Amino acid sequence: MDWGKKHNKYVHTIEQLEEYLPLTDKEKKKFQEVIKIHPMKITKYYLSLIDPKDPKDPIKNMLVPSVDELNVSGEYDTSGEAENTKEIGLQHKYAQTALILSTNRCASYCRHCFRKRLIGLPSREVLSRFDDAVNYINEHKEIDNVLISGGDPFVLPTKIIQEFLEKLSKIKHLRFIRFGTRVPVFMPSRILEGNELLKVLKKYNSKTKRIYIVTHFNHPREITKKSVEAINRLLKAGLIINNQTVLLKRVNDNPNVLSELMLRLVSIGVNPYYVFQCRPVKRVKHHFQIPLYKGCKIVEEAKKKLDGHSKRFKYIIAHKTGKIEIIGIMNNYIYFKYHQAKDPRNLGKFFKKKLNKKAGWLDDLK
Ligand code: SF4
């Protein structure tokens, strides 16, 4: 059982949701249709951040189902995760990094999730035997770091997290371990209540194997007193925290919101790391993706408002072929550079594509 379920933190049904937000009969019917395909899960804490009187509330847009999810344009695996899977629950796309899908559960289910195909659903892509992953990493000496993701590893019982760390810390060629988590955003109580998780993280965070936390804050209103407290505890435990954000329609597609988010993150000790272009995922693309042209404008305008420290993030397309930085637009062309590449020959490659103002993804450009 995950930590939040044990502590009765979640809302799953439309009837429960109605206790927090006004819903029309039509919405209730449509939402039911949506959550039959991709389940709903929202912490009561996160629901308390929504302004129920604002139908366009950005916090609500990220977590509450929408009729826009009935549009199925796009595909489910936009980054080629299936072809990079080497063991159940272990992906190896970039030479140095192993990615572990530790669970199919999260503290809440983002409607924009790019792993929507498996979140909250039965899946064969999620780790079943951790030892198989450990064996694979042991045999691949080029792997110097592991990203434990999911789903959200911090919803797992602490003893499972401890087991992961115990086994990984014995692998000599590993230099650092990352946890990708949205728990500080959705359920800071997981970090604040009791000291077990922090104790475990602190114990395994060593000079030879640093632990990094990769958070996923998308909007300045997610930075609350409680989430700041959770971040403070993680920092005090000696962990380094980086943040990745997804650029989302009706959430943060505004230079003021994006720059405020970056500035606030830096002010609480979190480093801006990536801003991702929203992937063309089925039931996500139509709802959340903005064109690259617009994305470039927003990112550049946001950067104009920021000091060097707060704008260290890269604006990235997480493409099948690699992580591609979107450099900018000039003379009717968009310029890109491979930041990470599945084929190492592409690393650092700089290229341009003719601008199409409606294109939302690299493959939409000629
Ligand atoms: S927390 Fe991360 S993995 Fe979970 S639903 Fe949100 S984006 Fe997806």
- Output the CA 330–ligand 1 centroid distance in Å: 34
Look at residues 147, 140, 148 and name the one whose alpha carbon lies nearest to residue 95. 140
Binned at pLDDT 50, 70 and 90, residue 6 comes out as confident
**Mutation test residue for ligand 1: of 216, 243, 245, the one with most atoms within 8 Å of CB:** 216
Mean pLDDT of the chain: 96
Q: What pTM does this model have?
A: 0.96
Choice between 7 and 204, residue whose per-residue pLDDT is larger: 204
Question: Is pLDDT above 80 for 296?
Answer: yes
**Ligand 1 interacting residues, C-beta cut-off 6 A:** 106, 109-110, 113, 115, 119, 150-152, 182, 216
> How many residues are given for the chain?
366
Ligand 1: residue whose CA is nearest its atom 7: 113
pLDDT of amino acid 9 = 87
pLDDT above 90: percentage of residues in the chain: 93
Binned at pLDDT 50, 70 and 90, residue 366 comes out as confident
142 CB-contact burial (10 Å; exposed 0-12 / middle 13-18 / buried 19+): exposed
Structure tokens, 194? 């009791």
Question: Is pLDDT above 90 for 234?
Answer: yes
Binned at pLDDT 50, 70 and 90, residue 124 comes out as confident
Look at residues 105, 106, 109 and name the one whose alpha carbon lies nearest to residue 69. 109
pLDDT of amino acid 244 = 98
β-bridge mates for residue 322, sequence order: 319, 341
Binned at pLDDT 50, 70 and 90, residue 8 comes out as confident
pLDDT of amino acid 90 = 97
Eight-class DSSP state of 240: E
Q: CA–CA distance from 236 to each of 185, 229, 241 (Å)?
A: 18, 10, 11
Look at residues 205, 296, 210 and name the one whose alpha carbon lies nearest to residue 258. 296
Binned at pLDDT 50, 70 and 90, residue 66 comes out as very high
Q: Of 124-128, 240-244, 252-256, 264-268, give the lowest mean pLDDT range.
A: 124-128
| Stretch 96-102: mean pLDDT | 97
- Output the CA 63–ligand 1 centroid distance in Å: 10
Model confidence over 208-217: pLDDT tens digits?
Answer: 899 999 999 9
**Distance, CA of 30 to chain centre:** 26
Protein fold of 3-364: TIM Barrel (3.20.20)
pLDDT of amino acid 184 = 98
